[in-house]
A and B are shown apart, each in its own frame.
Chain A
Amino acid sequence: MKNKYVFVVVMLCVILVAGMGFTNLYVNYSEGDTSKEELTVVTSFYPMYVAAMNVVGDAPGVKLQNLSEPQTGCLHDFQLTPEDMKLLSTADVFIINGGGIEAFMEDVAKAYPNLTIVSTCEYLELLSDGDETNAHAWMSVGMYREMVQTIAMGLAKADPDNRALYEENAEIYDSKLMRLEERQQTVAEAAEGTDVILFHEAYDYVADDYGMQVSCVMDLDEERQVSAGEVSEVLRAINEDGASLILAEELYGKSMAETVQKEADVSVIYLDPLNRGDYEADSYLLGMEHNIELLEAYFVK
């Protein structure tokens, strides 16, 4: 009879010890060096991280960290984990895109009133679809340049000692971006006025940059089910507006683009939405350059 109680106590103790032991191992394994830094800068997601990386450069005493994983993409359905809250509690500056992409910002601002928040889209005039703001501004090179400047300004304010360095880094990065924008201009001359169909909300900014006419948008940003009505809307845009080009994202838009291609005679260009990738300082430059090349190949024959 008493045996049973002993069993329960032993069992719970074993589970407790095993659980704590494994957790201990895991934490020790995953924790790198935690040296103290003077300024911790946290960015919300990938494009912000890459931009901030270029501005911070090798500034002394600054630790740059990204809140989400590099493959997370946009943060539309992002949930803060306890680990994220811990990271934010150590941060001095939090660089976000703004415009509503970081839906969790209200909670963060409430929990950490002293955190300096740099909203990179703050000074931009964002495109909008009805009452919904489209915040994927980094897809426009011109806007991205301003976002980089906003980051440099924000960091200079938070860390005046490195002010000169931030401004210099931003200047160097900006000159590279300027070259991209110039190249974009030559393509834009050929592309202007073309009717396009977008399979990603973010490409509104691409269309805007190149002066294209958007005849239909199907937002395939997340894994989601598409209704038949939306597909017929796309086909209507092709047949009635004479749209002959689809801008899509390879990851989420490919199967839909292939379906539409079977039904109608359209070209598809798979652009990189630049919201996921690896942590290389040049990844935005390379990704955007590749996008421009794709459009160049289509328009400038």
Chain B
Amino acid sequence: MIDWTSWLDYGFMRSALFAILIITPLFGLMGTMIVNKKMAYFSDALGHSALTGIAVGVVCGMQDTSLAMVLFAIVFALLLNKIGSANTASTDTIISVFSSCSVAVGLAILSKGGNFSKYSSILVGDVLSITNREILYLVVIFGVTIVFWLVCFNWLNAVCIHRALAKSKDIPVKVMDNMFAVLVALIVMLSIKWVGILIINALLILPAASARNLSSNMREYHLFSVIFSVFSGILGLVLSYYTNVATGPMIVIIASVIYFATYWRGRKDR
């Protein structure tokens, strides 16, 4: 038998658990709105822009590349929103163009001199790399998100359901869109180091998508999404510790299992 508490003996596992307890509820919360607003592709593009963010940080000689990443992601998100709302081509085309452009720039800069392997850890993520300062950032963003949700959720939801109607009710549609995009950018960037670019989007989308399969109102939707997110986060962390695989993928595997179970259940109800 395994000693199921031994992982708590290590400082790095405790920090990882703490980080997961902060960030997974946020993933669940934001995910609900991302899925509703059909922004899955948008958050994926944001994740990919992290590469460029790091590259920009490296070029500018910044010590703390996470700051460069965050700044770049915010600019990137606002730019995407701006161009997306101009309605020149369909949104998915625009996002795809932006995403591949930024990945190409990032890869070009980072692979200069054959040094890309230094950054390959960011592709799959590394749970051991969480520092106390990053946890502090997470706590701050947690607070900001909760406040934003409490104050603005109804507006945000109204915008999501019917833009024109929301506008006629004097809801600041553009501001809501931009604030939400910036928030998503912040959360994605701050957790990308330990989740990894390749799968971060799954963590945002899967819990909410699973919850959508089951729930019949907003309250249930949020409740299930947060529960699924936290559950897969903690179980994934523990299992990855004992099986010696990367944590991010393990969390996503569990979240996927939940999704397929709820999908099956959701179909049966219909």
Interface residues of A (CB under 8 A from B): 4, 7-8, 11-12, 15-16, 19-20, 23-24, 26-28, 76-77, 79-83, 85-86, 89, 107, 111, 219, 222, 224-226
Q: Please tell me if the beta carbons of A82 and B13 are within 8 angstroms of each other in the complex.
A: yes
What DSSP secondary structure best describes chain B's contact surface? helix
Beyond known contacts A15-B254, A20-B239: 18 more, CB 8 A cutoff: A4-B214, A4-B220, A7-B265, A12-B227, A16-B231, A16-B235, A19-B235, A19-B254, A23-B239, A27-B243, A28-B2, A77-B117, A81-B128, A81-B246, A82-B7, A82-B13, A224-B116, A225-B114
Partner of A224, one of B114, B128, B262, B265: B114
What A residues does B258 contact at CB under 8 A? Answer: 11-12, 15
| Residue B261 interfacial (CB < 8 Å) | yes
What DSSP secondary structure best describes chain A's contact surface? helix
Once bound together, how far apart are the Cα atoms of A296 and B13, in whole Å?
53
Residue of B at shortest CB range from A104?
A: B128
| Residue B50 interfacial (CB < 8 Å) | no
Q: Please tell me if the beta carbons of A11 and B111 are within 8 angstroms of each other in the complex.
A: no
Query: In the complex, how many angstroms separate the beta carbon of A64 from the nearest chain B beta carbon?
Result: 20
Partner of B214, one of A7, A27, A79, A86: A7
Q: Given contacts A8-B224, A19-B235, is CB(A219)–CB(B114) below 8 Å?
A: yes
Contact stretch, chosen from B22-30, B55-63, B119-127, B177-185: B119-127
B32-73 interface with A by 8 A CB criterion = none
What A residues does B241 contact at CB under 8 A? Answer: 82
Interface centre among B128, B220, B258 (most CB of A within 10 A): B128
Query: In the complex, how many angstroms separate the beta carbon of A85 from the nearest chain B beta carbon?
Result: 7
Once bound together, how far apart are the Cα atoms of A76 and B114, in whole Å?
12
A-B contact pairs, 7 of them (CB 8 A): A11-B261, A15-B257, A23-B239, A76-B118, A81-B128, A111-B11, A222-B114
Residue of B at shortest CB range from A82?
A: B241
Q: Please tell me if the beta carbons of A24 and B2 are within 8 angstroms of each other in the complex.
A: yes
Query: In the complex, how many angstroms separate the beta carbon of A123 from the nearest chain B beta carbon?
Result: 28
